[in-house]
Structure 1
Amino acid sequence: MREVVVVGAGLAGLSTAEALRGAGFDGTITLVGEEAHEPYSRPPLSKELLTGKGTGAGVRLRGPEELSALDLDLRLGVRALALHPGERAVELSDGSRVTGDSVVIATGGAARRPDTTLSGVHVLRTLDDAEALRAELAEHERITVVGAGFIGAEVAASARALGLEVTLIEAAATPLTRTVDPRVGSVLAELHRDNGVDLRVGVGVRALEGTGRVERVRLADDSTVEASLVVAGLGVNLNTGWLAGSGVELDAGDQAVRCDEHCATSLPGVYAAGDLASWPHPRYGGRTRLEHWTNAGEQAAVVAHNLLAGSGTRWAYQPVPYFWSDQYGAKVQLLGQATPADSVEIVHGSPESRKFVAFFGRAGMLVGVLGLRSTPKTMRYRKLLEQPTAWTDALAAAAP
């Protein structure tokens, strides 16, 4: 193998290139990125960059010298249009083609946008999104955020830090309903209210209304929220459309790239990493897909190893999922899975103090640990999730 094409210049794509070089690969690595920006980190976009504590240059994943040292054929500002499997060629939007002995798919996802042409309506996924939103935050006194997932929650917290009035709307009964059991989600709801956010749960959005610019948000119960600035945190659509007809197998629902336990796709020599990759995880059953910063880097390392393994031993990807979020000066950390859960137990602290560690159990086994303002205690339980641990054994390990 002398040529590798990595499609996607986010954390997963760049980390794959770095891991290949770190393992001694001295062939050609072509890194293709749709955005014109050099690879950057997304977590600061909803926090430091929005609040003015960071800059676009400050979110770069690597400095110019570090990037240069990787000796990449860097193709920025071009989009992948198609994958031609017979020649492992990727057709690009500038009319060129790049070929490789192997291809890594790391094109991530794009923010779902509301069906409206009104100005004043934003999403937050890219550096350009963040800079456009930051400019508007400086000109408004209030903001309405639709969707109380991690992005919506962080935007709400950043807006409050800037002194804006914030209305946060969530169709589910509690925030983070796709990630956290409602018994803990309800505590996170109170964290928003503690910090002066007008949180509306259990009601969806019917329409965004206005003339030219958004003026109000009409809810499913026909009530309205006056709003001249709206941020929609509605999740992502995975960037896998360019794979149509290539033979790369996709999941029927979200169109994620189906990988095996080694992160290999249905096409020989083609791997996937990052937000768009789904794979079988033996500890959680079924297929897993993670939109987490740590997953992108960890999965990329496995992909790079397996690309170079040849006839040697390939690694199976069996991580302990890890995610964190900073909201109102408090760190929320999640190890493993926190939903669905049969059992939830607060093992340290209390919800009332907004400082605790919670265990999540399913089918008699520990499956997740969540901490709020409890970093050291949360992280010490990672080892319980690295191997199967019975629920009763986990509770015993947490005893004072």
Structure 2
Amino acid sequence: MSGLEGWVDLPEGLLHSIVARLGSFPDLLAFAATYPSWRASFSSYPSKSTLLPPLHLQPNVPVCSARPRPFTNSLIPKRSCYVTDLANQGTYMCCQVPLFNGFSNSKYPPSYLDGFSFGAVSYGHLILSNQQRACLVVDVFTGVSVSAPQLPVDGYVLLYYAALTAPLASPNSHLLVNAGGHNFFWRVGSQSWLRRSPRNGTIKQIVVFKGQVFGMDHDRRLYIVHLVPQIRVQKIAVDLDGSMTSKWHLSHPWLVVCGDMLLMVGSQQSSLSTGDAFEAFRLDLSTEPAKWVKVEKLENWAIFISIDQRSQALCCMNPERWGGKSNCVYCYSSKGWTEFELGQPLQGDASTPRVFILFNCGSMLQSMWVVPSMFYSCYDDR
């Protein structure tokens, strides 16, 4: 056996141990590009989307210097975006996000995405919509897009929420959108939408936990969304523990999965500033009814929350390996990213600029945390 063949044929267990030790997105990308067998091993690695902190994308930084751009695609017009990797804070990347109306500066050449506005980001994909009731799912970094059929609603389409139920390449991936006062599901590759909404409202966010799709509506009601054999939305009875004063205890709650915990994370304020704190509640499904239980520590997890409420909260395991901190929620403001230790008010003094973070929803692309789509697979949701 030649030396080359020996490297190609390394066993999957050994390759997985190498993946677990790599410390940056460029290193992982280089590993996956080395041999087809290494890429297959990388694809089968479970929960690889939580190995590193998500990348932070800033859409309106005016200039990107001529640095290497690992994510490129020349088929459609792009807008340069500044990308920061917390695992390598001394460097940055300059990615090319597909050009559409979601940028504050419109002085760019015509694009086939003209007329589209930002709806959400999910599994490394932007979800866009336009006035013709079209929806487009676009890879954040490569620009590869998938078009959905025209939405069966009247008038202008504004996506109040949108998300994929699984990575785009998964066999049962669906696009869920909240538009026109209803939830619509599109199985990727099919020719039509199905309208399936809870009886008392619409689902405003979803996560996948232990192979099941969980959803929550504006009134904090919780659901399981069954996709097979047919789409069905099932309400879950949930009680509050004594530390959650009411269902409105958290002003802007996010659902996020950290390992074997399905969490609801948020603060009691509609905006965050110095002196405010994040709280987390874990869903306990061992009781009937289920219960939200206060979590004092995130153990070896960190959580990342974007300014736009429709962007999915992300997480990272063992953040100390890249210089981060466990038991922290990372948010971004004009002052840079801020670490909120769970349950502890953000400290400040006369020498520290006051932090202010306003969460919102809008048609413009905003600063956000994102994991490249290739770091997801069906293994991540089992």
- Asked if TM exceeds 0.5, the reply is no
Range class of TM-score, shorter chain: under 0.3
So what's the TM-score if we normalise by structure 1? 0.24
Per residue, is there more strand in 1 or in 2?
2
